[in-house]
């Protein structure tokens, strides 16, 4: 028999529905709101079956053990380090593994921003379980949500919980897009590029750094960042150039050289194409804005 709650050491908060109704008429909680949240340690026999789903979106993060979710005639494993996201009104049955029961953090979400956040994660069955890149950050977000609701049910803490939930959903979307297993070569490359953006770095060099082929690395990088390496480096260089234009007295040629451009005229053309204003005009706009 499945147990919905009642586990030793659990934390759980379920907001009164009249309070939810009132909060949904106010900003910013009308945009996103946590209605229920908690943590169930070693939740043996835990599970819920909802033939018509729940009126809220459900997010379950498995920090230890194993769980399962049945939906759309499929059975999805929810292993340690993964998060399950179920949209509102999605019929489902989720449960702890019999041999290795999960430990989970969970929350229910409603609000006007929810559809956009779910679209960012992906609504297909293959996107309902996502491996988490930074487990400590995920736990911290859930803990902030539960702690806020445990403090009291006043609007400041409802807003605090909502903000943590927004960040939580954004983290899931980012992890789904990058893919944890795929992200390591890209993470290493991005760290190297941030430290050496003024140097000339080839695509094969970055691929070797990540231990993958050049073509595979190029595809991983574009999928993770939305651009190629050249555009990514350009954005790093231009960000540093903007900083130097505003905070230093260096001339344009010196700044161009500092950020990796040997030709100051080429740098100026690149800067103007990105910002629709020349480096000199960009600097002047800040010095005259007061």
Residues 56-101 have pLDDT tens digits of: 999 999 999 999 999 877 889 999 999 999 999 999 999 999 999 9
Question: Are 46 and 166 in a shared domain?
Answer: yes
Residue 32 lies in a domain: yes
CATH of the domain at 245: 1.10.10.60
| More confident of the two residues 210 and 179 | 210
Give the model confidence (pLDDT) of 218-229 as tens digits.
888 888 788 899
The sign of the dihedral angle between the CA atoms of 215, 216, 220, 223 is positive
| Tokens representing residue 34 in the block | 């946590």
| Closest to 191 in 3D by CA, of 167, 218, 214, 221 | 221
Residue pLDDT, tens place only, 35-58: 999 999 999 999 999 999 999 999
Taking CA atoms, 100 is separated from 41, 95, 108, 140, 157, in Å, by 12, 11, 24, 24, 35
In a domain, 152, yes or no: yes
Question: How many C-beta atoms surround the C-beta of residue 147 within 10 A?
Answer: 16
Is 3 contained in some domain? Answer: no
- Residue 93's nearest CA partner among 112, 117, 67 is 67
- Phi, psi angle pair for 200, to nearest 5°: -85, 115
In a domain, 1, yes or no: no
Q: Which of 10, 3, 13 is nearest to 158 (CA)?
A: 13
Reported confidence tier of residue 289, pLDDT bands at 50, 70, 90: very low
Residue 290's pLDDT is 45
Neighbours of 28 (CB within 10 A): 17
- For the cut 80, the answer to whether the pLDDT of residue 288 exceeds it is no
Same domain, 156 and 202: no
Q: Name the domain boundary from 178, 209, 233.
A: 178
Domain that holds residue 274: 181-287
The structural domain count of the chain equals 2
| Range from 39-48, 61-70, 105-114, 167-176 carrying the lowest mean pLDDT | 167-176
Q: Are 85 and 118 in contact (CB under 8 A)?
A: yes
Residue 281 has pLDDT above 90, yes or no: yes
User: Is 78 in the same domain as 64?
Assistant: yes
Q: Does 133 lie in the same domain as 55? A: yes
Domain boundary among 162, 178, 194: 178
Q: Are residues 29 and 122 in the same domain?
A: yes
């Amino acid at each position: 028999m499945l147990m919905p709650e009642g586990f030793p050491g659990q934390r759980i908060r379920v907001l009164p529905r009249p309070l939810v109704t009132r909060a949904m008429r106010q900003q910013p909680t009308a945009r996103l709101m946590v209605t229920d949240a908690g943590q169930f340690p070693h939740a043996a026999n835990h599970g819920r079956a909802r033939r018509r789903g729940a009126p809220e979106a459900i997010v379950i993060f498995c920090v230890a053990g194993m769980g399962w979710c049945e939906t759309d005639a499929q059975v999805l494993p929810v292993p340690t380090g993964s998060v399950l996201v179920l949209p509102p009104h999605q019929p489902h049955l989720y449960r702890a593994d019999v041999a290795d029961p999960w430990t989970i953090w969970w929350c229910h979400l409603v609000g006007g921003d929810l559809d956009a956040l779910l679209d960012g994660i992906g609504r297909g069955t293959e996107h309902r379980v996502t491996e988490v890149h930074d487990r400590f950050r995920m736990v911290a977000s859930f803990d902030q949500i539960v702690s806020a609701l445990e403090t009291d049910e006043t609007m400041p803490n409802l807003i605090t919980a909502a903000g943590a939930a927004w960040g939580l959903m954004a983290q899931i979307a980012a992890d789904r897009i990058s893919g944890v297993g795929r992200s390591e070569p890209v993470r290493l490359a991005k760290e190297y590029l941030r430290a050496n953006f003024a140097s000339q770095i080839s695509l094969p060099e970055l691929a070797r750094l990540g231990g993958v082929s050049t073509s595979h690395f190029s595809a991983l990088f574009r999928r993770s960042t939305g651009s190629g390496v050249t555009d990514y480096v350009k954005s790093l260089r231009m960000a540093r150039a903007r900083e130097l234009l505003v905070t230093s007295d260096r001339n344009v040629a010196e700044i161009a050289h500092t950020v990796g451009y040997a030709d100051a005229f080429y740098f100026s053309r690149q800067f103007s194409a990105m910002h629709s204003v020349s480096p000199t005009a960009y600097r002047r706009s800040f010095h005259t804005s007061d």
